[in-house]
Amino acid sequence: MSIKLHKGDIPADLDFGKILAIDTETMGLNNHRDPLCLVQLSSGDGNAHIVQLDRKTYDAPNLKALLADEKVLKIFHYARFDVAVIKKYLKLDCGPVYCTRTASRLARTYTDRHGLKQCCRELLGIELNKQQQSSDWGAAELKDVQLEYAASDVYHLHALKEKLDIMLEREGRAELAQKCFEFLPVRAELDLTGWPDEDIFAHV
């Protein structure tokens, strides 16, 4: 497994194939307050590319083209958050989307533990170290432990998708999952436009 850090943008000739694992790190979980700092990418080959964004300009044309490329499926864990921050800070609609957390919620109804850590443990037998989850992602020089943590969030998403697709198929929910993935950008937009906590479909 190798990690490559890119300052500002990815090189134009980097090819991630048709299915991209992606995650972001921000200064916090409030998407209006906390800016996007990193975007982590992996083609599922065991290598990770980490883009450390210029938070003054967010000038990253190659990354933006990749994220907006409709021919590349993006796998996230909890896409709702990442799609919203990408829309807000990179000013683009990232898609099409697959969310392993949403897939897990639809397939693994026997548990309420849908964190990446729990999914990796149960479905892949892999233990993730979440110690750097809350760390200063805005630092100019990121520590090796931070880079390793950030990368570990994208290493296993392809494998998780494979396992979850089998479960969704088995439970007859693959189509419903697909419809949810297609709705996720709308859910993210509601988060950004003033309905973060409300279920607008609820009667009260």
Residues making contact with Mn ion (CB under 5 A):
23, 153
CB of 24 to Mn ion, least distance (A): 7
For Mn ion, the closer of residues 130 and 170 by Cβ is 130
Q: Which residues pair with 38 in a beta bridge?
A: 25, 52
Q: Please name the residues in contact with 104: beta carbons below 8 A apart, sequence gap of 6 or more.
A: 114, 119, 164
Residue with tokens 């975007």: 39
Choice between 9 and 153, CB closer to Mn ion: 153
Locate all alpha helices (DSSP H) within the chain, ordered by sequence. 61-68, 79-90, 100-107, 116-119, 144-155, 157-170, 174-193
- Decide: 49 and 100 in contact? Cβ < 8 Å: no
Tokens of 15: 């090819």
Report DSSP letters for 30-56, one per residue. -TTTS-EEEEEEE-SSS-EEEEE--TT
CB 41 to Mn ion: min, Å: 12
Which C-beta is closer to Mn ion: that of 9 or that of 23? 23
Q: How far is the CB of 23 from Mn ion (least distance, A)?
A: 4
Question: Among residues 21 and 184, whose Cβ is nearest to Mn ion?
Answer: 21
d(CA 104, CA 116): 10
Nearer to Mn ion, 23 or 191 (CB): 23
> Residue 33 in contact with residue 88, Cβ under 8 Å?
no
Smaller CB distance to Mn ion: residue 88 or 173?
88
Beta 97-99 vs 48-52: how paired, if at all? unpaired
Strand partners, 19: 73
Smallest distance from Mn ion to CB 100, Å: 12
Cβ-closest residue to Mn ion? 153
